[in-house]
Amino acid sequence: MNAMELITRIRLPLSRAVGTGRARMGTATHAASSVAGMAIPPGFSAKEAKLTRLDTPQPPWRPVPAADPGTTMPPGFKAQVAQLITFEMPERVTGSTGDRALGKALVNAWRRDGIIQIAMSAEQRRLWEEAKAASRRFFRKPHAEKAACVDSQSYSGYIASGEEVTDGIADYSEIFTITKDLDMAEPRVRAKWPCHGPCPWPDVEMKEPMTRYNESLGTEGEKLLQLVEFGLEVAPGSLTRHTRDGWHHTRVLRFPPRNATNGKGKEGRGIGSHTDYGLLVISAQDEVGGLFIRRPSQDEKFANWERSAAGLKEDDDGWFYVPPVAGTHTVILGDMMQYLTRNYLTATPHKVGLNTRERFAFAYFHEPSFQAVLKPLEGGCGGNGLGSSSSSSSSSSSSSSSSSSSSSSSSSSSSPSVSDTEGVHYGTHFTNMFIRNYPDRITTRRLMAENRYSLLSSPELRTMGALPALP
């Protein structure tokens, strides 16, 4: 792919800084300069960027960030402001030269920034608006009506403000979680697999738009994984073979204003520092703002599949605020991507601050199958191996069947262990996360009372480990 082809894959936000052309991480007070009002992607000159603007058809909508993106940052936080270039996704991934170059650009952006920004298609933009409206409608319902949306077998449904616990502290987000919606006759539900059960939808007005949006993001997630495979130079199917019947799920989120929390008499927080547990997290946010991330750093390596990374670096310096940009999704990486790539791509620590207004957001998790037993990828990066540039090791234990909080691991200053031998069972990792986040939920109590946790080590729940790579 030539330079022009790559540039047309990158939708350029207006009024971005130039210079290195990187997805800039500037301070809130940084005065952005520009050439013809456009950012320049890595490796391209101002001249090329000008030509691209003339040649690239503009969409009917256009991401226009605020003059100073830092103005939406929640009060009370100290952070630099991330100014991200926006990548445009292809309609289909075919393995073209352009796909391969885009995959490499995405991987490089994640390794540098920990987050990428992709343009929504016109259809996704419509679906996001519908989902946002359904979310507002749901969260406006009386508490009792929302609180009735729980299920004792799945973690789908309503999570009240203050119910979620991150690192022992209540988060004030209000959430509707959507996991795989399985009815009571479904064999895995009948067999009482942990976390498997129906989604307790409040009504069809919630179910239909959320389902449509999730399906669209499922397609996007698969495309992204295919591009990542190209970017990593691993065999096609190395990642996507794990997402057959993927345990994809969604968090529909509402954050109260910082001074009007849940009435417990103290100022709350949004969501504390943590990493997410799977492969990709594709998020949309409204115009209010509240997301903070940490960039990858050799000095900060977490292994959340072995020991909880929740709460780490919460009050440290080094956070970047991600301002809302209309018409875009952001994508961060989860624990299993880090494990599979031997720390070449790392899970992105993030947290959410409460702002002066209520805020609505949507996080879609593109995940391996619940039954998947993941092993680190072989090869990659032109035959040099993925672990070679980030000094991963292959010693120590994995948490494939034990509680993830009981294993030992380095949390900083050295690379976490990546065991080749046992692998990580995704279903166990997911279950551990939800037990830890919702210790008092009816689902956790039933799971424990019926000893469902022990099923996680049975062969029937580990059927994805032996699947061959797709041709």
Is the CB of residue 409 less than 8 Å from the CB of residue 396? yes
Query: Which residues make beta-bridge pairs with 181?
Result: 197
Q: Does 164 bind Fe ion (CB under 5 A)?
A: no
Least distance in Å: CB of 232 to Fe ion? 23
Query: What tokens appear for 4 in the block?
Result: 């022009």
**Nearest to Fe ion of 22, 249 (CB atom):** 249
**Nearest to Fe ion of 233, 276 (CB atom):** 276
**Nearest to Fe ion of 216, 283 (CB atom):** 283
- What order of strands is seen across the sheet that includes strand 350-352? 24-26, 80-83, 320-321, 291-293, 350-352, 271-274
Least distance in Å: CB of 312 to Fe ion? 13
Least distance in Å: CB of 277 to Fe ion? 9
**Nearest to Fe ion of 182, 280 (CB atom):** 280
Strand, helix or coil for residue 229: helix
Q: What is the dihedral of CA 173, 345, 427, 448, to 10 degrees?
A: -50
Q: Whose structure tokens read 């490089």?
A: 108
Give the contacts of 3 (CB within 8 A, at least 6 positions apart).
Answer: 43, 44, 48
Q: How far is CA 45 from the centre of its chain?
A: 32
Biggest CA–CA distance in the chain, Å, is 66
**Nearest to Fe ion of 171, 276 (CB atom):** 276
Q: Pairing between strand 80-83 and 320-321?
A: parallel
Least distance in Å: CB of 283 to Fe ion? 9
**Nearest to Fe ion of 16, 294 (CB atom):** 294
Separation in Å, CA 9 to CA 1, 100, 101, 106 = 11, 12, 10, 11
Least distance in Å: CB of 251 to Fe ion? 8
Query: What tokens appear for 365 in the block?
Result: 């998790």
Is the CB of residue 205 less than 8 Å from the CB of residue 220? no
**Nearest to Fe ion of 101, 361 (CB atom):** 361
**Nearest to Fe ion of 276, 286 (CB atom):** 276
Query: What is the per-residue burial (b if ≥16 Cβ within 10 Å, else e) of 141-157?
Result: beeeebeebbbbbbbbb
Is the CB of residue 107 less than 8 Å from the CB of residue 52? no
Comparing every residue's Cβ against Fe ion, the nearest one is 276
CA–CA gap between residue 270 and residue 312 (Å, rounded): 15
SS3 content of the chain, % helix, strand, coil (to 5): 30, 15, 55
**Nearest to Fe ion of 104, 329 (CB atom):** 329
Least distance in Å: CB of 467 to Fe ion? 28
Least distance in Å: CB of 294 to Fe ion? 12
**Nearest to Fe ion of 330, 411 (CB atom):** 330
Least distance in Å: CB of 323 to Fe ion? 18
Query: What tokens appear for 328 in the block?
Result: 């875009």
Q: Whose structure tokens read 């790559």?
A: 6
Give the contacts of 54 (CB within 8 A, at least 6 positions apart).
Answer: none
Say how many C-beta atoms besides its own lie within 10 A of residue 415's C-beta. Answer: 17
| Total binding residues toward Fe ion, as defined by CB under 5 A | 1
Query: What is the per-residue burial (b if ≥16 Cβ within 10 Å, else e) of 394-413?
Result: eeeebbbeeebeebebbbee
**Nearest to Fe ion of 276, 306 (CB atom):** 276
CA–CA gap between residue 304 and residue 313 (Å, rounded): 14
Least distance in Å: CB of 352 to Fe ion? 8
**Nearest to Fe ion of 111, 351 (CB atom):** 351
Interface pattern 258-297 for Fe ion (x via CB under 5 A) = ------------------x---------------------
Least distance in Å: CB of 274 to Fe ion? 6
Phi, psi of 233 (to 5 degrees): 60, 45
Phi, psi of 24 (to 5 degrees): -75, 145
Least distance in Å: CB of 72 to Fe ion? 19
Least distance in Å: CB of 276 to Fe ion? 4
Positions in the binding site for Fe ion (CB under 5 A): 276
